[in-house]
Each structure stands twice: as structure tokens, then as C-alpha cells.
């Protein structure tokens, strides 16, 4: 009888502990849900003062601000609200949470820190390039000596035909790979259709998912995805400058499949709809989420179109649709790969420019030399730097971090199915730069 009573007492205590832990978890989750609503509503209000802040919103319609923005940014009110949300997130006990909820809380805190930083910048606070990148994107940009890129330029110099500077010879050589404007729509539709087919062979996307594509002008970017919610995107392609054949797959995958469109659709499907994590119903552009978004969109190009498959599709489908000669396709592809190794030079130039160490004209000249831009394209790029500042790290550093994470978890070139699987899990869950290491 005593043994029975003792057993009942142990069972009762264990049940009470489990029950208490379950209640604590539910309470923490409810608290996080309440904080998520406050966070989303505050970001939507902040977005009235800068249209770039909210990149996408697909939450409750009634959460959108009704009152128009005040004439002057009420920065202190925004800071007070975001800081209170941050303090309440930090006060929560992670030991009472599941691993999933702990990741949610960690990501949430980093997103709120970015919101605080953005308000302070709107208020006039000056941050240097690296500090800004750390606070907004949870990332530490690498540093490269320009001599590192000089050696890459030497290798490109040997591959390019003609006479003159490397940039001049590249411009001349590249002209034969420009997509005629009259054929842009046909080429891009074919590239997006193939990217979509390849992605849907691996991922179950929402049944109603779809997109609309538009060609636009007078933009600081080459392509943009406006995710509207419910699996729908507006994809815009900027035609201010010539568009070359490789950009068809680049933009089809980056903006569409398995890039931004798929990333947002999976977040909406898995985190917002299934788990009710409403903080993911808003995508604040200047936040750690952007490093994952841009990095995964760039890496997604290689996931959907591994090197050999990409060139084969371009030669057999896209080149003919654009009316281009395929005889130089392999050489062009090899030079593009070399030029891709210059990508981080743009970050170094942006750091110097945004930290006030070089002028716009100098930055443009350096972009011509190290990224082989035409001068007018280089000046457009400086305008992008003015507008988005340290955001430039998200494309290349983001891609490297995502690539290393996927490969470290088994998604290597010789295991393509595993690569698709790990990549999908990364797109579908809370992740930020420091969480990928």
C-alpha cells in the first residue's frame, strides 16, 4: 500500500511538472503572439514614413494604420514601443520553450533590434558600414584588399578578346549576348516557367500560388519581387539598361523560383498560417530576414540550375528564343564565372563610399574597374548604395552563408535531393546570419 501511494505521489508530481511546463510554454507563446501583433502594427505605422521599410505585408487588414502619418516622424514613440517589445522578449524564460519557440524568440529579438536601429537612423544617427550591417542584418561583412581583386582581373584580361581596358573589352564582347527588348518577355517567361517546373518537382507550394511579371523603368534595382500574400507575387524587371542572356535565369530564379516568391510563400504557409506566428506576416526590408531572403534567392539559382544544366538550358532554349548565336556560349559562361569572383569588390567600394572616404565619382570609377560596369550603370549602383546602404552585403555574403549551411548539412553537389531538402527547411523556418554558423 505504501509503495502504491509513493508511486501515485511520483506520478502526480511528474504530471504537475509537465502540466506546469506546458502551461508556461503556452503562456510564453501567447505572450509572443501578443508582442508579434504590437510589432507588426508598429512597423506598419513606421512604413508610412518610408515606403521601403515594409517590403511585404499579408496579415489582417484591420492591423493596417487608419490615421495618416504625422508631418514629423514621432521617433521617440516608435523607439519606446520597439524597446518595450524587446525588453518583454528578453524577459521570457527560454527554458520553458520548445527548441522551435526558442528559435522564434531569438529571430524575433534580432528583427526588433533592426527596427530600433532603423528608427535611430531615420532620426539622424550615423553608423559606419560594418556597425550598420551588424545591427540591421546580424552579419559581419568580410574585408578584402583590392589587390585580391586585381589578381582576378588579370585572369579575366587573358580571356577577353580585343584591345583596350578590361571594362571596355568586356562591354564590346558582351554586346553579342544582349536580349533584344522585343524578345525580353518571351525569354523571361521561358526562364521563369523552367525555374518554376524545377522547383515544384521538389516543393509542395500553395495550390493557388502564382505571379505577374512586368517590365518597368527608372528604378535603382534590376529586378524586384513584391509579395502580395496568399501565394501571389508581382515581379518587376527594370529595362533601364541592356539585359543580357544570363540575367534571364538569374532573375527568374532570384525573384521567382526558388527565390523570393517561394521564400515568402513558404514562410506564409508554414509560419503564419500553420503556426500563427504573425510577426512573419510582415517583411521589414532592413532586417536580418533580408540577408536570408537575398542570400537564398542568389543561392537558389544554383539549386535550380546546377552549372552544367544551366548552360545546357540556355543554349538549347534561351539563346534561340533571344536570337543569339550559341558558338561563344561556353567562353562567355567561363568569363562570367570569373567576373562573379569580383562580387565582393562592390562591398568594399560601398564601405568606402558610405563611410565618406571616397566620392560618388570615385566610387563609380572603382565600380567600372572592379565590377566592369559601364559608367552610367556604375552611377546607378551608387544611387542604390545611397538608398539601401549596407543592404548590399545581403546578396553575396548572404549567398555564401546559405551555401555553407546547406552544404554542411549534406546538401552538396553530389546530393542534389538533399540540397533541395535542406534548402526548403531553411526557407521555411526562422533563420538569421548568426544562426546559420
What nine digits make up the cell of 104? 522564434
pLDDT tens for each residue of the chain, 437 residues long: 544 444 444 444 444 444 444 555 555 566 999 999 999 999 999 999 999 999 999 999 999 999 889 999 999 999 999 999 999 999 999 998 999 999 999 999 999 999 999 999 999 999 999 999 999 999 999 999 999 999 999 999 999 999 999 999 999 999 999 999 999 999 999 999 999 999 999 999 999 999 999 999 998 889 999 999 999 999 999 999 999 999 999 999 999 999 999 999 999 999 999 999 999 999 999 999 999 999 999 999 999 999 889 999 999 999 999 999 999 999 999 999 999 999 999 999 999 999 999 999 999 999 999 999 999 999 999 999 999 999 999 999 999 999 999 999 999 999 999 999 999 999 999 999 999 98
- Are 55 and 165 found together in one domain? no
- Single out the residue of 385, 217, 209, 227 nearest to residue 297, CA to CA: 227
Residue 131 belongs to some domain of the structure: no
What span, in angstroms and rounded, lies between the C-alpha atoms of 207 and 205?
6
Asked which of 96, 125, 154 is the last residue of a domain, the reply is 125
Which cell numbers hold the place of 52?
Answer: 521601403
Residue positions counted in the chain:
437
Structural domain for 313, as ranges: 146-436
Confidence (pLDDT) at 307: 82
Last residue within a domain, chosen from 91, 125, 159: 125
Place of cell 570615385: 362
In this structure, the answer to whether residues 188 and 88 fall within a common structural domain is no
Strand-pairing partners, residue 224, are 236
- In angstroms, rounded to a whole number, what is the distance separating the alpha carbons of residues 355 and 362? 13
188 and 115: one domain?
no
The answer on 284 and 194 residing in a single domain is yes
Look at residue 135 and tell me if it is in a domain: no
pLDDT, one tens digit per residue, over 347-396 is 999 999 999 999 999 999 999 999 999 999 999 999 999 999 999 999 99
Is residue 139, in this structure, part of any structural domain at all? no
φ, ψ (nearest 5 deg) of residue 215: -105, 130
Q: Which helix (H) or strand (E) holds 228?
A: strand 223-229
310 and 178 co-located in one domain: yes
Beta carbons of 237 and 185 less than 8 angstroms apart = no
Using DSSP's 3-state secondary structure scheme, residue 215 falls into strand
The total domain count for the chain is: 2
**Cα–Cα distance between 114 and 78 in angstroms, integer?**
13
Q: Is residue 297 part of a domain?
A: yes
Q: What angle do CA 58, 136, 111 make, to 5 degrees?
A: 45
Q: What SS3 class is residue 56?
A: strand
Nearest to residue 322, comparing CAs of 191, 214, 198, 169? Answer: 191
Statement to judge: residues 361 and 422 lie in one domain: yes
What is this structure's pTM?
A: 0.91
Calpha distance 212→226 (Å, rounded): 10
Residue 303 DSSP symbol:
H
Together in a domain, 165 and 115? no
52 shares its domain with 153: no
Q: Are residues 364 and 422 in the same domain?
A: yes
Alpha carbon distance 57, 45 (integer Å): 12
* pLDDT, tens only, 15-56: 444 444 455 555 556 699 999 999 999 999 999 999 999 999
Indicate if 359 and 303 belong to the same structural domain: yes
Do 289 and 220 sit in the same domain of this protein? Answer: yes
In this structure, the answer to whether residues 227 and 96 fall within a common structural domain is no
Residue 155 inside a domain? The answer is yes
Amino acid at each position: 500500500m505504501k509503495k502504491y501511494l509513493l508511486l501515485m505521489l511520483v506520478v502526480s508530481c511528474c504530471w504537475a511538472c509537465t502540466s506546469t511546463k506546458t502551461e508556461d510554454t503556452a503562456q510564453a507563446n501567447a505572450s509572443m503572439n501578443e508582442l508579434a501583433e504590437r510589432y507588426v502594427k508598429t512597423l506598419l505605422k513606421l512604413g508610412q514614413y518610408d515606403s521601403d521599410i515594409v517590403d511585404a505585408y499579408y496579415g489582417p487588414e484591420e492591423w493596417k494604420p487608419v490615421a495618416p502619418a504625422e508631418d514629423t516622424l514621432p521617433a521617440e514613440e516608435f523607439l519606446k514601443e520597439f524597446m518595450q517589445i524587446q525588453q518583454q522578449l528578453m524577459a521570457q524564460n527560454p527554458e520553458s520553450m520548445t527548441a522551435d519557440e526558442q528559435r522564434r524568440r531569438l529571430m524575433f529579438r534580432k528583427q526588433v533590434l533592426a527596427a530600433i536601429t532603423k528608427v535611430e537612423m531615420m532620426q539622424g544617427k550615423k553608423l559606419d558600414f560594418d556597425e550598420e550591417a551588424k545591427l540591421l542584418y546580424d552579419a559581419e561583412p568580410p574585408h578584402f584588399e583590392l589587390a585580391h581583386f586585381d589578381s582576378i582581373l588579370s585572369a579575366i584580361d587573358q580571356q577577353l578578346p580585343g584591345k583596350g581596358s578590361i571594362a571596355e573589352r568586356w562591354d564590346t564582347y558582351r554586346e553579342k549576348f544582349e536580349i533584344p527588348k522585343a524578345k525580353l518577355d518571351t525569354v523571361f517567361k521561358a526562364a521563369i516557367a523552367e525555374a518554376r517546373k524545377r522547383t515544384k518537382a521538389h516543393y509542395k507550394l500553395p495550390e493557388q500560388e502564382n505571379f505577374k511579371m512586368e517590365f518597368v523603368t527608372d528604378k535603382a534595382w534590376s529586378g524586384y519581387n513584391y509579395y502580395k500574400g496568399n501565394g501571389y507575387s508581382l515581379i518587376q524587371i527594370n529595362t533601364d539598361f541592356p539585359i543580357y542572356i544570363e540575367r534571364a535565369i538569374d532573375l527568374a530564379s532570384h525573384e521567382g523560383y526558388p527565390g523570393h516568391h517561394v521564400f515568402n510563400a513558404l514562410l506564409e504557409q508554414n509560419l503564419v498560417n500553420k503556426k500563427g506566428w504573425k510577426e512573419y506576416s510582415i517583411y521589414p526590408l532592413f532586417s536580418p530576414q533580408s540577408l536570408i531572403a537575398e542570400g537564398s534567392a542568389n543561392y537558389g539559382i544554383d539549386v535550380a540550375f546546377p552549372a552544367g544544366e544551366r548552360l545546357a538550358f540556355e543554349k538549347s532554349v534561351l539563346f534561340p528564343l533571344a536570337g543569339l548565336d550559341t558558338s561563344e556560349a561556353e567562353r562567355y559562361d567561363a568569363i562570367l564565372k570569373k567576373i562573379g569572383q569580383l562580387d565582393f569588390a562592390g562591398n568594399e567600394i560601398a564601405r568606402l563610399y558610405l563611410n565618406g572616404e571616397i566620392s560618388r565619382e570615385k566610387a563609380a570609377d572603382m565600380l567600372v574597374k572592379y565590377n566592369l560596369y559601364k559608367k552610367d550603370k556604375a552611377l546607378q549602383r551608387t544611387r542604390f548604395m545611397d538608398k539601401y546602404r549596407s543592404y548590399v552585403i545581403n546578396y553575396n555574403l548572404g549567398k555564401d552563408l546559405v551555401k555553407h549551411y546547406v552544404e554542411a548539412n549534406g546538401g552538396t553537389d553530389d546530393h542534389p535531393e538533399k540540397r533541395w531538402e535542406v534548402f526548403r527547411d531553411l526557407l521555411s523556418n526562422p533563420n538569421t546570419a548568426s544562426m546559420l554558423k
